[in-house]
Structures are given as C-alpha cells and as structure tokens.
C-alpha cells in the first residue's frame, strides 16, 4: 500500500511540474519560412533529358503552419507533360543540424529529403536522389524576387560538380 502511495505522489508531482511548463517556442530561423506560407501558382519548363521529353508544368501549392509553428506543411497539385499528380511536403528547421529540412512525398510513389539554407533572398535545397538505378545530387534554388514571387531552378549532377538544369520557372503568390 505504501508503494502505491509513493508512486501516486510521484505521478502527481510530475503532472504538476508538466502543467507549469510551457511548450518551447519556435526560434527565429523558422520565421524565415513565413515567406513560403500561402497559396502559390507555379509555372515551369521541364528540360528534355533523363526525366523525360520535357515540356510545360504547372503547380498549385498551399503551404500552412502546423499547430505549434515548427513545421510548414505544403500540399501540391501538379500537371505536366510527364503526367499529373499530388504531393505533400513538410519544411522545418533543426537546431541540432543548424539547417532547414524538406521532406516530400508524392502520388508517383516518390519520397525526397532535402537540406536547405538561406542566404539573403536565395534559398538552396540539396538532396541525394535515385534516378533509375543511379544516385544523383539534386539542387533546387529559389530566388525571392519579391514577398509574393520567386524564380526557381532545379538541377541535377552525378557528382555535385557539373550541374544540368532539369526544370526552371516562376512562382507567384495568389
């Protein structure tokens, strides 16, 4: 009986301590992702190459903060000459890694993990990707041209030294 009383008292003390502490607040690095929140219309040109014959692509993207303010969640509908689909991405910031992260999943069965950095008005996202049976490096660069638009380029490289443009275009906030 004493043992149950001690366990109950300890549980009550832990619960009281937890009730008094507030959840941590997001750091200033996450505030930089605010520029990407909202509804976006994206248009691009896919270059002919390993990804297919090339052509036009459009996307409609909606990015919103998840409760708590630690992650920006984006839902994308895309249309292209290679096919149409849907994607979902999650962006955040890691204090431990001192960098941004982007995790994407789409209706074509693809999953991608990228690391991001921001320098002024330029965001650079890098990844290691599998194309067919080969691993390649990916680089997605966004140049903010205003608070409501950015130009982008997606490039690939077999080794991270010589880059080939796969897609470029423009995004406009609605």
- Per-residue HEC secondary structure of 93-129 comes to EECCCCEEEEEEEECCCCEEEEEEEEECCEEEEEEEE
Instruction: State how far the Cα of 95 lies from the Cα of 114, in Å rounded to an integer.
Output: 16
Residues 27-35 have a mean pLDDT of 94
What is the reported pTM? 0.84
- Of 68, 61, 69, the C-alpha closest to 29 is 69
- Whether the per-residue pLDDT at 10 is higher than 70: the answer is no
* pLDDT at residue 172, rounded to an integer: 98
Residues 93-122 have a mean pLDDT of 95
pLDDT level of residue 18 (50, 70, 90 thresholds):
low
Residue whose entry in the numeric block shows the structure tokens 């993990």: 113
Contacts of 51 (CB under 8 A, 6+ apart): 82, 131, 166
Instruction: State how far the Cα of 61 lies from the Cα of 142, in Å rounded to an integer.
Output: 15
Question: Can you give the residue ranges of every domain in the chain?
Answer: 26-173
Going through 35-94 in order, the beta strands assigned E by DSSP cover 38-46, 55-65, 72-80, 83-94
Mean pLDDT of the chain: 90
- Of 156, 153, 158, the C-alpha closest to 170 is 153
The yes or no reply on domain 26-173 and CATH 2.40.128.20 is yes
């Amino acid at each position: 009986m004493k043992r149950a009383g001690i366990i109950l008292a300890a549980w009550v003390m832990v619960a009281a301590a937890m009730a008094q502490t507030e959840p941590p607040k997001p750091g200033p690095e996450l505030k930089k992702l605010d520029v990407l929140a909202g509804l976006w219309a994206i248009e691009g040109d896919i270059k002919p190459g390993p990804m297919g014959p090339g052509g036009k692509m459009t996307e409609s993207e909606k990015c919103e903060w998840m409760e708590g303010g630690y992650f920006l969640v984006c839902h994308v509908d895309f249309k292209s000459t290679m096919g149409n689909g849907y994607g979902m991405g999650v962006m955040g910031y890691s204090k431990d890694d001192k960098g941004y992260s982007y995790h994407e999943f789409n209706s074509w069965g693809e999953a991608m993990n990228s690391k991001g950095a921001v320098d002024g008005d330029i965001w650079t996202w890098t990844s290691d990707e599998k194309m067919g049976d080969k691993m390649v490096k990916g680089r997605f660069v966004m140049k903010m041209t205003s608070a409501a638009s950015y130009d982008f380029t997606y490039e690939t490289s077999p080794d991270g030294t010589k880059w080939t443009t796969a897609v470029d275009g423009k995004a406009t906030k609605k």
